[in-house]
């Protein structure tokens, strides 16, 4: 009798495939996608109506967020960016523009661009009206596949404990909206996905 693969192993295989596809993207394709993604994301009511947005600075060939961060700030929104803590949890600081970012080397991690302003504490994310989540895929139910580091699982747990209910939005490439994402009990659905070619809302 064959057993169904465990969700963790299915997730690991799917992550490998999606990361390989991202690594194959050219710099020009990444730039064009980032510009289109900013337009799509700003059109979402969840972001258009938000006063405070918790976002992140994209790395490598992730769907680019730099243009979106500037557009959010230009629209008068308070933008919070994460600071990675030694235990993989996230602190937060206000985004003050590209000049307010500095490259930080974390042992065993990619070099990250992080805000240089004062840290507000991990609970600061509870004040956000919308939270932009990195991810690798989302399915038609809004279930998101993260990168597996656990940082945003902690963020989502913190929001739940605080009774905060910001709009959760994942930023992806077009072909990362898939038929099915394997889920585990701790996984949370997102409200919307923004891709370069459009947006889709689930809740």
pLDDT tens track for 115-134: 999 999 999 999 999 999 99
User: Would you say 144 is a known binding-site residue?
Assistant: yes
Alpha carbons 60 and 134: distance in angstroms, whole number: 12
Identify the pLDDT of residue 188.
Answer: 83
User: Would you say 180 is a known binding-site residue?
Assistant: no
Sign of CA dihedral 115, 155, 21, 17: positive
The boundaries of the domain holding residue 74 are: 7-201
User: Would you say 57 is a known binding-site residue?
Assistant: yes
DSSP secondary structure letters along 175-203: GGB-S-----TT--B-SEEEETTEEEE--
Alpha carbons 57 and 86: distance in angstroms, whole number: 18
| pTM (2 d.p.) | 0.92
Looking up tokens 């507000």 gives: 120
In a domain, 2, yes or no: no
User: Would you say 158 is a known binding-site residue?
Assistant: no
Identify the pLDDT of residue 109.
Answer: 67
User: Would you say 141 is a known binding-site residue?
Assistant: no
Identify the pLDDT of residue 4.
Answer: 52
User: Would you say 121 is a known binding-site residue?
Assistant: no
Identify the pLDDT of residue 2.
Answer: 43
Identify the pLDDT of residue 107.
Answer: 74
Phi, psi of 95 (to 5 degrees): -80, 125
User: Would you say 15 is a known binding-site residue?
Assistant: yes
Per-position pLDDT tens, the chain of length 203: 445 556 668 888 999 999 999 999 999 999 999 999 999 999 999 999 999 999 999 999 999 999 999 999 999 999 999 999 999 999 999 999 999 999 988 776 678 899 999 999 999 999 999 999 999 999 999 999 988 888 999 999 999 999 999 999 999 999 999 989 888 777 789 999 999 999 999 86
In a domain, 167, yes or no: yes
User: Would you say 97 is a known binding-site residue?
Assistant: no
User: Would you say 56 is a known binding-site residue?
Assistant: no
In a domain, 1, yes or no: no
Identify the pLDDT of residue 82.
Answer: 97
Phi, psi of 200 (to 5 degrees): -140, 135
Per the structure, the count of domains in the chain is 1
In order of 1, 2, 62, 131, the CA distances from 134 in angstroms are 38, 34, 8, 10
Contact predicate 124/109, CB 8 Å: no
- The domain that contains 193 carries what CATH number? 3.40.50.10420
Identify the pLDDT of residue 150.
Answer: 86
State both tokens at 84: 């990675």
Closest CA to 175 of 147, 142, 136: 136
In terms of Cβ atoms closer than 10 Å to its own Cβ (0-12, 13-18, 19+), residue 196 is buried
In a domain, 146, yes or no: yes
User: Would you say 124 is a known binding-site residue?
Assistant: no
User: Would you say 9 is a known binding-site residue?
Assistant: no
User: Would you say 16 is a known binding-site residue?
Assistant: no
Contact predicate 114/83, CB 8 Å: yes
In a domain, 41, yes or no: yes
Contact predicate 52/127, CB 8 Å: yes
In a domain, 188, yes or no: yes
């Amino acid at each position: 009798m064959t057993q169904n693969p465990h969700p963790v192993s299915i997730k690991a295989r799917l992550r490998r495939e999606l990361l390989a596809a991202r690594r194959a993207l050219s710099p020009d394709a990444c730039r064009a996608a980032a510009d289109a993604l900013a337009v799509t994301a700003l059109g979402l009511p969840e972001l258009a109506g938000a006063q405070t947005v918790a976002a992140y600075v994209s790395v490598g060939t992730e769907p680019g967020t730099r243009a979106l961060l500037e557009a959010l700030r230009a629209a008068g929104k308070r933008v919070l960016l994460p600071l990675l803590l030694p235990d993989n949890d996230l602190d937060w600081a206000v985004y003050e523009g590209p000049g307010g970012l500095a490259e930080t080397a974390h042992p065993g991690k990619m070099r990250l661009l992080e805000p240089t302003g004062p840290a507000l504490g991990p609970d600061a994310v509870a004040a956000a009206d919308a939270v932009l989540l990195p991810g690798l895929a989302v399915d038609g139910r809004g279930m998101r596949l993260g990168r597996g580091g656990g940082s945003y699982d902690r963020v989502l747990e913190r929001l739940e404990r605080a009774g905060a209910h910001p709009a959760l939005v994942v930023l992806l490439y077009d072909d990362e909206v898939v038929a099915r994402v394997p889920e585990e009990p701790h996984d949370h659905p997102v409200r919307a996905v923004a891709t370069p070619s459009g947006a889709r809302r689930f809740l």
